[in-house]
Amino acid sequence: MGLYGIGQAVPREEDPRLLKGKGRYADDFAPAGQARGVVLRSPHAHAVIGSIDAQAARAAPGVLAVLTGAELEARGLGAQKPLQPRKKSDGSPAHVTPQPLLAQDRVRFVGQPVAFIVAETVALAKDAAELIEVDYQPLAAVIGVEQASADAAPSVWDDNPGNEAFFHEVGDAAATQAAFDKADHIVSHRIVINRITTNSMEPRGCIGEYDPVDDQYTIRCTIQSAHRTRGTLANAYFKKPQNHFRVICDNMGGGFGMKGGCYPEYALSLWAAEVTGRPVKWISERGEGIQSDEQARDSVIEAELALDKQGNFLALRTLSKTAMGAYNTSDRNVMPTFVAIGCLANTYKTPAIHARVMGIFTNTMTIAFYRGGGRPEPLFTIERMVDKAAHELGIDPFELRRRNTIGPDAMPYKTPLGQTYDCGDFLKNMDICRDAAGYDGVAARRAEARGRGKILGVGVANVCEPAAGRDFEHAQIRFEPSGSVTIFAGAMDHGQGHGTTFKQVLSAKLGIDADLIRYRYGDTDAVAMGIGTFGSRTAVLCGGAISVAADRIIDKGKRIAAHFLEAAETDIVFEQGSFSVAGTDKKMN
């Protein structure tokens, strides 16, 4: 590979191996004695479980274990719950509802795990699952957010009428109301953002193993954060020190936010390995993935934009109701609804903004982060409102945006929601795009298209979103006696090409041949700590961590070189892997 600079085009080192089918994905591993796990899932969105009879399943050929809510209670495994306390709109505490690994008295969404069956093969486990008799007593279910928040709607939780889970509010309500009171135009719109789910190339899966001698749990699974998964397994589910758990993730076929959480199947596989004394593999099928993978978005947003006679924005207010699913069991279920709500300000100089978010329980799978991590919804909202205002006021959409865009002379600019833009020439960006797209010629192109029986549309958007702003990332650089180097990083690679990118960073910083650099990630026994890969953060935070670590190595090397070269540390120069005394031919590698 040689010496490569940051940004230089180089072949991805991962591609030949992956293109030849030599990747190391979860289902490629088959430890000796491996058994297979299958999840029996609820066919109902809402039902009372009268009883579960698994006697026939346990006696079926090849079955090693059948775990139900009764065994879960006896084993005493815990559940996840949100770490950040929140409130409802009336000021009372948010309604927290930890989801058990297996349903016990009631199921609240289609696909909720009811039993975990372990057998010698997948087919035998499926056969046994069909023998389990569950007495379901169906209840009224609420699926959509408007249905769930309507008066007298059926309750997902009996002790929580109205189905409100939590409430979040930002901005200045009084200033926003004052702006609306003096507005010449008020544009209102109801925006529906549909529920979506990921369909990644590789479905979720895991292999759980248990060593009773050391009381050690090892899981290989499809995850975006090895260390956070270890923390959840240890702290929330098994209630044991984290050094009893090893989490591994090698290659992974896409994550997109959906694989950022610690799912019930991972703890179930480890528990099953503990019960059976065998490694237990569970691999999701496409059908159950649609039911049980974390989903996303699913909001109805009532938005209003206030303008004066000249079309200048005066204020924006929104109320977003999000169908968060049946359980408020993790901060992941809550945070996507408001973590990027500052994007409502976008590139516009709107003086006042007031935004409210309400999480509503529904009989659906929980939502969590998906591509964009909460940014697309507020950005779509403000851009849709600008289009609506342009249409109602008869102003060109591009012109209305330009009229209200923050100018470069306003930098640094603090938005009404507290974000500070340190720089940016949004107007210049718009003008460049206008010219490149031939926006001024759209009318003629539209007429020409109409003559061919076609309809030509044109859309305008100018968006600004945060990236790489969450937490930290870990990097360790280790030199071997042979001269080779290993990078240990907390970021996870699921298709981004980190092995190539991070080797470039270190090669450029230290002048080391990239062929001598090895990249390690995704193993909590090898990497000391880490956050993971999500939210457009890894190149900045992990690449930055590697750069900082390299600078510390250079600083230490200068002190050592100064001693051996009998020079002042300030006279030592580092370049392309060599330390030298400035103005002399004295150097050391």
How far apart CA 171 and CA 448 sit, in angstroms, is 46
Q: Amino acid identity of 70?
A: A
DSSP single-letter state for residue 366: P
CB atoms inside a 10 Å sphere around CB 438: 11
pLDDT in tens, 534-548: 888 898 999 999 999
Q: Are 228 and 299 in contact (CB under 8 A)?
A: no
**What tokens does 545 get?**
């961590």
Helix (H/G/I), strand (E/B), else coil: 376: helix
Cα distances (angstroms) measured from residue 101 to each of 73, 94, 288, 299: 10, 22, 16, 27
How far apart CA 190 and CA 182 sit, in angstroms, is 22
| Closest CA relative to residue 473, chosen from 498, 507, 504 | 498
Confidence (pLDDT) at 536: 87
How far apart CA 312 and CA 348 sit, in angstroms, is 10
How far apart CA 396 and CA 384 sit, in angstroms, is 14
What backbone phi and psi angles, to 5 degrees, belong to 290? -60, -35
Confidence (pLDDT) at 4: 66
Q: Burial, 434: exposed, middle or buried (Cβ in 10 Å; 0-12, 13-18, 19+)?
A: middle
Q: How many residues does the chain have?
A: 589
Confidence (pLDDT) at 186: 98
Establish whether domains 31-139+199-292 and 475-588 are of one fold.
no
Confidence (pLDDT) at 10: 86
**What tokens does 261 get?**
């959480």
DSSP single-letter state for residue 108: -
Residues 31-139+199-292, CATH architecture: Alpha-Beta Complex (3.90)
Cis previous bond, 412, omega within 30: yes
How far apart CA 447 and CA 295 sit, in angstroms, is 42
Q: Where are the alpha helices (DSSP H) in 364-441?
A: 376-393, 397-404, 426-437
Confidence (pLDDT) at 6: 80
| Closest CA relative to residue 26, chosen from 260, 183, 203, 201 | 203
Helix (H/G/I), strand (E/B), else coil: 76: coil
Q: Which residues pair with 296 in a beta bridge?
A: 196
Q: Which CATH class is domain 146-197+293-451?
A: alpha beta
How far apart CA 508 and CA 4 sit, in angstroms, is 6
pTM of the predicted model, to two decimals?
0.94
Q: Which stretches of the chain drop beneath a pLDDT of 70?
A: 1-4, 470
User: For residue 208, what are the contacts with CB-CB under 8 A and spacing of at least 6?
Assistant: 217, 218, 219, 266, 268, 269, 270, 271, 272, 273, 279, 280, 281, 282
Q: Are 512 and 569 in contact (CB under 8 A)?
A: no
Confidence (pLDDT) at 47: 98
Domain ranges of the chain: 31-139+199-292, 146-197+293-451, 475-588
Confidence (pLDDT) at 2: 63
The H or E element spanning position 191 is: strand 185-197
pLDDT in tens, 191-218: 999 999 999 999 999 999 999 999 999 9
Q: Are 253 and 496 in contact (CB under 8 A)?
A: no
| Closest CA relative to residue 220, chosen from 524, 534, 487 | 524
Kindly give the pairing relationship between strand 185-197 and strand 295-307.
antiparallel
In order, the DSSP letters of 123-149 are HHHHHHHTT-EEEEEE-----SHHHHT
Confidence (pLDDT) at 589: 84
Does the domain at 475-588 match CATH 3.40.50.150? Answer given as: no
How far apart CA 587 and CA 577 sit, in angstroms, is 10
Confidence (pLDDT) at 467: 85
Confidence (pLDDT) at 569: 94
How far apart CA 212 and CA 524 sit, in angstroms, is 20
Confidence (pLDDT) at 535: 87
The H or E element spanning position 181 is: helix 173-181
Confidence (pLDDT) at 494: 87
